[in-house]
Structure 1
Amino acid sequence: MPGRFFLTRPIGEIALFLNVEDSLGPQPARKNIQPGQEVVVLTGDGLKTMRWGIIPVGRVNARGRPVMETIVNARSETVFDKSAFEGVGRAIIPVDGWYEWTGEKRRKTACRIAAKDGAPLLFAAITDTWEAPGGLRVDQVAAVTCEPNADVKPIHHRMGVLLEARDVQRWLHGSEDEAQSLTRPWPEGRLMIEEADDVDWSGA
């Protein structure tokens, strides 16, 4: 949807793939990136880290009621016209892949999903800044989701919006209509899905 991410390749490779400067330097390999943790993102200002999950302080829904749950993933069908997302920015979350869980409750199987060609996957995302008590400002990000393609559908009813490298600037800087035109399922047959039985789910 995604449930968790993984990014183990050097950030320098990510920067090269995105044709941007490596402004972060060496980062640890991470096999289990969870909501609430820091993730690498690309914004119009370059690579940086943000907290995965938007704390919607002050945001309200269409009925004017406060949004209470932290926004980890945002639906593409409503992200451009829902009052809860008013004023958010756009970013890219570059990763090696993500995890989903499938099966019956208490017997779910973790699946690792990555590109068949080994290239990084680029998730469309939205950003916000939370002004925490004491004046602390926390940059936050949430992945944008859409209907699943044929590869992912047997595992989950949603998938993250994945972008081609050529569409990164259109997502970051294009109009809302241009960005929304990119929120479609990834072409089928380009993802590798395998059981993830080698991950320590307690750590990053």
Structure 2
Amino acid sequence: MCGRYVRARAGLEYLAPLVSGHGDFPVGLDVCPSWNIAPGTCQPIVYPAGTPRRVRWGYRTPWAMRKRPRTIIDATSGNFDSSAWKALWRNGRVIVPGDGWFEWVDAVDGSQPYFIRRMDGEPLFMAALTSQQLETEAHDGDGFMIVVTAADAGPLDVHALRPVVFAAPDARVWLDPDTSPELASYLVHRVALPAGSFDRFAVSRAVNWADRQDGPSLIERTAAPR
């Protein structure tokens, strides 16, 4: 599953496809590009009607806060039937905009990062869940998680899980508050873009250092180790 992702475009390029037919265009769309987004940072996510807000990537369950629970950065699609997740599944659906994500593959001389993106060059609309409601203040533990599902056979089978990515029309349905949990589940398991919609290639290991490496050079092709 992706532990880093890329958001390299202007905010309008992500948000315009998500507000088609939804009335007024949202404001406050300025976002800085980043080619090495890591968990624990505050990033823009998109709520219904294309409204953006910066939220921390990573969620800690409120019922376990006294035990100092680990931060969860991804939500496995198979867990949505549990009572602990039903509220987020019903009321916390958001989209994380991006252009691709990184995965690491074991190589003889260490882990080799690969960049994964849509083959058609379109933005990624990644399904996500958040505990942070749009109009409320953040509380300890609030954050967002990228929804992941089983990786089908193909160019993305470097790990067992991968992000759920929608085409823009399906992302709008995911965001719609009137979408039932059953339909949302159907979108995740039957409608999301398949593995054949993506390609991957090796990139520089400089991406390993999220705290000091950023820029478009991180997604330039490099020779894959043999």
TM-score range, shorter chain: 0.7 to 0.9
Tell me: CA distance 1:59–1:183, structure 2 relative to 1, closer, same or farther (3 Å): farther
Could you tell me how far 1:59 is from its partner in structure 2?
4.8
Q: Which moved more, 1:108-117 or 1:181-190?
A: 181-190
Cα displacement string for residues 127-175 of structure 1 (whole angstroms, at most 9, x for unaligned residues): 1039xxxx86365110111010223443111001111211123212211
Does structure 2 retain, via aligned residues, the 8 Å contact 1:152–1:159?
no
Given residue 81 of structure 1, which amino acid in structure 2 is its aligned partner?
Answer: D
Could you tell me how far 1:41 is from its partner in structure 2?
1.0
Question: What 5-or-longer segments of structure 1 have no aligned partner?
Answer: none
Total equivalences in the alignment: 195
Structure 2 counterpart of 1:52: 57
Structure 2 counterpart of 1:70: 71
Q: Name the structure with the higher helix share.
A: 2
Question: What is the aligned counterpart of 2:35 among 26, 31, 36?
Answer: 31
Q: Which moved more, 1:113-122 or 1:85-94?
A: 85-94
Cα displacement string for residues 72-97 of structure 1 (whole angstroms, at most 9, x for unaligned residues): 0011011x222332422110111011
Structure 1 counterpart of 2:223: none
Q: Share of identical aligned residues, percent?
A: 28
Structure 1 counterpart of 2:221: none
Question: What is the aligned counterpart of 1:186 among 193, 200, 214?
Answer: 193
For normalisation by structure 1, the TM-score amounts to 0.84
Residues in 1 aligned to 2:37 and 2:139: alpha-carbon distance in whole angstroms = 22
Given residue 78 of structure 2, which amino acid in structure 1 is its aligned partner?
Answer: E
Helix, strand or coil: the match of 1:84? helix
Question: What is the aligned counterpart of 2:203 among 171, 190, 196?
Answer: 196
Helix, strand or coil: the match of 1:31? strand
For normalisation by structure 2, the TM-score amounts to 0.76
1:83 aligns with 2:83: yes
Q: Name the structure with the higher strand share.
A: 1
Cα displacement string for residues 13-49 of structure 1 (whole angstroms, at most 9, x for unaligned residues): 1122323635333322100000111122111251221
Question: What 5-or-longer segments of structure 2 have no aligned partner?
Answer: 215-226
Does structure 2 retain, via aligned residues, the 8 Å contact 1:125–1:144?
yes
Structure 2 counterpart of 1:119: 122
Residues in 2 aligned to 1:9 and 1:153: alpha-carbon distance in whole angstroms = 23
